[in-house]
Structures are given as structure tokens and as C-alpha cells.
Amino acid sequence: MPGKVKKDASRGLRLNMIVDWLNKKTPYGGVTVKELAEKFEVSERQVYRDLNTIENYLRVPLVRQENGKAVRVRIESGYLPSLSPEKATVIFLSLLQQKGSALSGHLNEIKDALVSTLFKYHYDPKELAVEKLQKRIHIVEETLAEPEKVGGLFAVLVQSIKDSHRVKIWYYTTHSGEETERVVEPYGLICKHQNWYLVGRCRKRNDIRVFRVDQIKDVFPYTGEHFEYPADFTLTGYMASSWGVINDGKVCRVVIKFDKRIAHRVRNVLYHPSQKIEEELPGGSAVVSFEVCGLAEMTGWLLQWGDMVEVLEPQWLREEMRAMAERVARVYRPGQ
């Protein structure tokens, strides 16, 4: 009897490992019975028995396709594998975080479907207390005034990126306060602080531009006008030196002194990949350097720290920060 228990346990482990492997291989067309036999060191006949058990007892829907002598197996589309309570909770909280963003259009439907699937058979609702958990998590984020509308435009942009076709957008330009009409070849999307930005080649400017999605008033997809995605372009490479979402091509070395009151932040948080602590000063302050472009965005970040940061280099940025501080001070002068 002890031998049988060990054998059953060994088979149970193998069944779970097969399901996990099928899950990983399904997006790539699945895996052959022969490959499963070789990977798990059992006969092909045993693999067929295991697949029958997985399908009939574990209730994992499988699709089998014969190609000559080979039989390829994959998990049926729409199957959601079981997750641990920890992973299920992470998914749930991630959905909560998107409330009020461009992704929130169908958020409640998706959340309900996920919660139903993830928790229906595996967990006691009283122990999981999903609703209690939701009430005890408060997300402090900016929210869109019309998330459903922005979400609809966002979906069109995603489809255009997938299919590589041009779009016409009506875009509100902040610095001019005007709405402009552009035809764009969409390369990709960037997300910063839950705000989404479209990156693409603007045919009007014949250059790569970044458009904030919630400032796009409307989108018209030219589904019949496809473009060739540039082979030498990657979003990661394009954004590598950018402080935020703007790449103006002017990489500059910036050196900043962080007061002891906030120096721990740059020790614990990487604000940019190029961030480097140059010197630890007596008393707890720190001198930090960055190699960045798009400094217009960086100045706003620096202002939030008030008198707790000091720009040391370059000189022109130091002077610009001083001028900005003076303009802010004038706003608050008595009698203004």
C-alpha cells in the first residue's frame, strides 16, 4: 500500500506539471504527445492516459490535432488555469488600481468574471472576503473625467497598433490651447502614473511624436492604410534616456543635491535607469546624477521637492529653477 500512495502522488504531480506545460505551450500551438513523453520520461501510452485524466477528471478542456503520425495537444481557448490565493489577490488588486483609467471601460465586467472564475471552486468566500478586501484597499490616483469615452478611443488605438494601420486623430495641444488634426502611424503605447501616451510617426510633422491619450478627442482608423513598422525602432530604445514621456534627443548630465530629509528616497527608489549616487555628504545629504533628456518634465518633478533639492549641474538648469521659484514666489506675494 505505501508504494501505491507514492505512485499516486507521483502521478498527481506529473498531471499538474503537464497542465502547467500545456498552459505555457498553448499560445505557440501546443505540444506533441511525443514531446510530452520525452519531457516527463514516460511512454506515449501513459501520456494518453494522463491526458484523458486531465480532461475527464480535472476538467481541463483539451484540443487534439493530428498531423500525420504526430498528435499535437493544446488547452482549449478560454480556459483559465487555477491560481494560488496570493496570485489571485494580486490580479484582483491590479484591477482595482485601474479604476478611473483608460482601461476601466469594462473593468467591472472583467473583475466579476475573474473573481467568479478564480474563487468559485477553490476558496470559501467567507475566508477570502473579496468585498471586505476591496473596501479595505483605497487607491489614491488621478481619475479621468470620462473614463468610458477615453477607454473606447484607447481600444481603437490598441487595435491600430496590432494591425499596423494609420489613424486620424483630433488632438488638443496644451501649449497652444487648440485642437489639431493629425494622421499618425501608431508605434506603441507608454503608461506613466496610469496616464497613457501614444507614440507614433506624425505624417504632418514627419517625425515621431507623443500624444497623451486623454487629450485625443476622437480617432478614425484607416483600416485600409497599412504602414511598415520600422525595423530599427523599439519603444524601449526610444524612451531609454527620457525622464518622462518626452524624447527631445538632448541627453544632458544633471547633478542634484538631495537634502537629508529626503535623501533616503533616492537611496530606495530608482527614478531613472541612469540614476547614480555620486557622493554621500556628512549629515545625511546625497549628491545624485542622471543622464536624461526631456528636462521640461524633470523641472516639474524637481519643483515638488521645494527647498529639499538643489540643482548643481548644468548651470542653465540651475538658473531656470531659480527663475521658476521666483515666479512662484511672486504669485504668493502679499497684495497680489
**CATH code of the domain covering residue 231:** 2.30.30
What is the pLDDT of the chain when averaged over all its residues?
A: 86
- 308: containing domain: 252-331
Q: Which of 239, 261, 276 marks a domain boundary?
A: 239
* 147 within 8 A of 106, measured Cβ to Cβ: no
User: Does any domain span residue 145?
Assistant: no
Grid coordinates standing for 175? 501649449
4 confidence band (pLDDT: 50, 70, 90) = very low
Q: 250 phi and psi, to 5 degrees? A: -105, 85
Look at residue 112 in the predicted model and tell me its pLDDT. Answer: 67
Distance of CA 157 to the CA centre of its chain: 16
By three-state DSSP, how is residue 177 classified?
coil
By three-state DSSP, how is residue 126 classified?
helix
2 confidence band (pLDDT: 50, 70, 90) = very low
Q: How many distinct structural domains can be found in the chain?
A: 4
Grid coordinates standing for 168? 486620424
Residues 323, 262 share a domain: yes
Q: Which of 239, 265, 295 marks a domain boundary?
A: 239
Q: How far apart are CA 213 and CA 195, in angstroms?
A: 8
Pseudo-torsion of CA 210, 215, 221, 222, nearest 10°?
-50
CB-neighbour burial class of residue 118 (10 A; exposed 0-12, middle 13-18, buried 19+) = buried
What value does the mean pLDDT take over residues 16-34?
Answer: 87
Q: How far apart are the first and last CA of the chain?
A: 90
Helices and strands in the chain: count of H runs, count of E runs: 12, 12
pLDDT digits (tens, 9 = 90+) for 118-138: 555 444 545 555 666 667 777
Residues 55, 35 share a domain: yes
Residues 126, 171 share a domain: no
Provide the CATH number for the domain around residue 271: 3.30.70
User: Does any domain span residue 66?
Assistant: yes
Percentage, residues of the chain above pLDDT 70 = 87
Grid coordinates standing for 226? 497599412
Query: What pTM value is reported for the model?
Result: 0.72
Look at residue 82 in the predicted model and tell me its pLDDT. Answer: 63
Residues 184, 121 share a domain: no
15 confidence band (pLDDT: 50, 70, 90) = confident
Q: Among 111-115, 140-144, 253-257, which is the least confidently predicted range? A: 111-115
Residues 231, 181 share a domain: yes
Strands (E), the chain: 31-32, 62-67, 70-75, 165-173, 178-192, 195-202, 207-212, 216-226, 252-258, 276-280, 286-292, 309-313
Smallest CA-to-CA distance from 326 within 305, 308, 303 is with: 303
CB-neighbour burial class of residue 44 (10 A; exposed 0-12, middle 13-18, buried 19+) = middle
Whether 67 has a pLDDT exceeding 50, the answer reads yes
